[in-house]
Amino acid sequence: MLKIKTAVLVSGGGTNLQALIDAEKNDLLETAEISLVISNKEGVLALERADKAGIKREVISKKEFPNQMDFEEKLNQILVENQIELIVLAGFMSILSGQFTDRYVGRIINIHPSLIPSFCGKGFYGLKVHEEALKYGVKITGATVHYVNETPDGGQIIMQKAVEILEDDSPKTLQQRVMKEAEHIILPQATEQVARRILKEREEK
């Protein structure tokens, strides 16, 4: 079966990357093939996960480039060289410009730890999202996979999963449960769904 070469972009621990690796191992990814991991930081656990799984990996640090355009040009070059058709942002802490996302319309997806449009956009990432959810007093939170455009967390929603907030939740316990009960489930599902759409479009050309 034809596969869609997929790159996962990371910045930290790579728990969502691991969920994708495990899904592929368990044949839950049939169309998407994790063929490249790109980190914008050296020495992160996500790179060790890629090494352990035997997946090619690259590091592109923003510090090495004079501006965003040059950084994105290098990123694009690596994606093209590796024939990447689908990009998954899994805890990638670098906002991509509209100039970059316009090259990959409908081919970049992101996982966000809330039910968009709640607690999203610029400045909402990591623990901050869960702190705000608890501060606001919402009873339900969750995770969202969405397409990426020039607006942070502004692209069309692909999939969501709700997670109940418990009375004794702290930002950390909530973060862990949202990962386990939502992110790690819907990210592989959405990745496969989008990969199938890309494959179908390719076959129809």
Q: What is the pLDDT of residue 188?
A: 98
Decide: 31 and 1 in contact? Cβ < 8 Å.
yes
- The residues that are catalytic are 112
pLDDT at residue 1 in the model:
74
CA atoms within 13 A on the CB side of 184: 14
Q: Phi/psi at 182 (nearest 5 deg)? A: -130, -65
CA pair distance 125, 44, nearest whole angstrom: 18
- Domains in the chain with CATH codes: 4-204 (3.40.50.170)
pLDDT in tens, 42-52: 999 999 999 99
Residue 204 has pLDDT above 90, yes or no: no
- pTM for this model (two decimals): 0.96
Q: Is the pLDDT of residue 184 over 90?
A: yes
Question: Cβ(133)–Cβ(174) under 8 Å?
Answer: yes
Residue 25 in tokens: 């191992």
How far is the C-alpha of 73 from the C-alpha of 46, rounded, in Å? 23
Residues 127-152: what's their mean pLDDT? 97
Per-residue CA distances from 142 to 17, 79, 118, 120 (Å): 18, 30, 10, 12
Give the rounded percent of residues in the chain with a pLDDT score beyond 90: 95
pLDDT recorded at residue 30 = 95
Average pLDDT score over the chain: 96
Closest C-alpha to 172, from 126, 138, 135: 126
| pLDDT at 52 (0 to 100) | 98
Half-sphere exposure of 168 (CA within 13 A, CB side): 0
* Distinct helix (H) and strand (E) counts, the chain: 7, 7
Mean pLDDT of 37-43: 96
Q: What is the DSSP string of 88-153?
A: EESS--SPPPHHHHGGGTTSEEEEESS-TTSS-STT--THHHHHHHHHHT-SEEEEEEEE--SSTT
